[in-house]
Amino acid sequence: MKIQVLGTGCPKCHKLAANVEEALTQTGVEAEVEKVTSVADIAKFGVVFTPALVIDGEVKVAGKVIAPGKIAEMIV
């Protein structure tokens, strides 16, 4: 599984990345986590608002920070 956190480095982007790590710890799921900070790379996903969460190439959430529990539901 590949999880990407899209964002330019704002506090909300950091929070989403931390929530992803917490969800992985809670579930025991192993995944490659990548932080995508380049505006050009973020645009390739069609994302206008960050932070965004991408799981296996599919944008799951954009423009908000979601709780670790919600992320865990998506990755299990």
Report if pTM > 0.75.
yes
Residue type, 22: E
Class of domain 2-75: alpha beta
What pLDDT tens digit does each residue of the chain (76 aa) get? 999 999 999 999 999 999 999 999 999 999 999 999 999 999 999 999 999 999 999 999 999 999 999 999 999 9
Catalytic machinery residues: 10, 13
Q: What are phi and psi of 39, to 5 degrees?
A: -60, -40
The full set of domain ranges for the chain reads 2-75
DSSP state of 1: -
Q: What are phi and psi of 51, to 5 degrees?
A: -75, 160
